[in-house]
Chains A and B, each alone.
Chain A
Amino acid sequence: MPDTITLQVARYRPDIEREPTLQDYVVPLRKEWAVLDGLNYIKDQLDGTLSFRWSCRMGICGSCGMSVNGDPKLTCATFLDDYAPGPVRVEPLANFPIVRDLVVEINDFMLKLRRVKPWLMRDQHKPLDEGEYLQTPEELDDYKKYSLCINCMLCYSACPIYGLEPEFLGPAAIALAQRYNLDSRDEGAHQRLDVLSTDEGVWACTYVGECTVACPKGVDPAGAIQRYKLIAAKESMLDLLWPRGAR
């Protein structure tokens, strides 16, 4: 095993350049080093001006998503050794505007998350003295995998539809909506329908499936979207035949 590897890191410094360029850095190649360790080595030892986001280093915070050799990855869970002898190209997540170097602008995603009302909604809350809302293991199982999303945005980066049509609500937001729609304690599905069953919602998805491939937590947003399409189609038909107001 060689003891170094070259990282080709995308740089974009809006104060001195008009578009991103690649800069080579040679970092130690250690078996236990992830791409993020390589970037931190650059930041600490070679070039303190390099900007990137990271936090937990253990695949929980969802901050360190970047494009590694063209694939959206959590850089803390992507090992340099797997790319030896290199070089490894590290770029900001595709489909997002670049703020600086490897840092992307995520406001669009944050606003979309809020639009699907990702919280438990009840028509009427039961009195506190009646205790908690109980749930069977099967009921938990219905939504559990959608609850594992860490908002890393790799799915948005993998989705060509989001790249072409930025108004698309996107994989994670829809999976998160399903996380609550399928929760037995939630009664807000009809409120989310107006956001989800639209041209920018589930109907923009044409099932490329790359969001599910890219997801580091096994959330399967593509599955969540296809599943919701059936519900949305059923609701539209029902609305046509028997409008909601009359029910």
Chain B
Amino acid sequence: MSSVDDLAPLYRRPVSVFWWARRRSYLLFVLRELSSVAVAWTVVYLLLMANAVFSGAAAYQRFLDWSGRPWLILINVVALLFLLLHAVTWFNLAPQAIVVRLKGRRVPPRLRGRLVPPRLVAAAHFSAWLVASALVAWILLGVG
């Protein structure tokens, strides 16, 4: 295929370094990408905590003292906000990826062939998240 390159120079616009500031959705996207750093940090933090727990009471106390420092609390609060952004946008994406059509004999005939409403798919994910969080809280608080 011949290209118009042969005829006249094309002008390729440079992408601005601040392209992500042009739109709210672009900013949200960049923040969501950045949230993976918070996810990684949280994993490291949990591993450090697990290591401290298994190293005995003194080590665990040292970990707690370290965790109580203002700068670490700040880091963890920011990380939590990023994790929430990560989780909420992830679950909001679920109905885009999961498209379920009701099929089978057990489905009432009037619903057969219909799509499960996207809101229901999202609601199911958010509910599962809530149940899992409640379960973790119950284990932690129950054991504590």
B-contacting residues of A (Cβ < 8 Å)? 12, 14-15, 19-20, 70, 94, 97-100, 105, 107, 111, 136, 138, 142, 160, 163-164, 206-210, 213, 222-223, 226-227, 229-230
Contact = CB atoms under 8 A, between A and B. Distances in A.
A208 B89 CA distance: 11
Contacts, number: 70
Interface string B82-107: 00000001000100111101000000
B13 interface: yes
B1 A206 contact: no
Contacts of B69: none
Interface of B: 1, 3-5, 8-13, 15, 19-20, 22-23, 25-26, 29, 32-33, 89, 93, 96-99, 101, 113
A70 B33 CA distance: 24
Given A138-B113, A226-B93, A227-B99, A208 B25 contact: yes
Contacts of B4: 99, 105, 107
Given A138-B101, A160-B29, A210-B26, A222 B96 contact: yes
B23 A99 contact: no
Contact of A107 (B3, B20, B22): B3
Contacts of B15: 163-164
B11 A20 contact: yes
B25 A213 contact: yes
A126 to B, nearest CB: 25
A206 B33 contact: yes
Nearest to A231: B97
Nearest to A166: B12
Contact of A206 (B5, B20, B23, B29): B29
Nearest to B103: A138
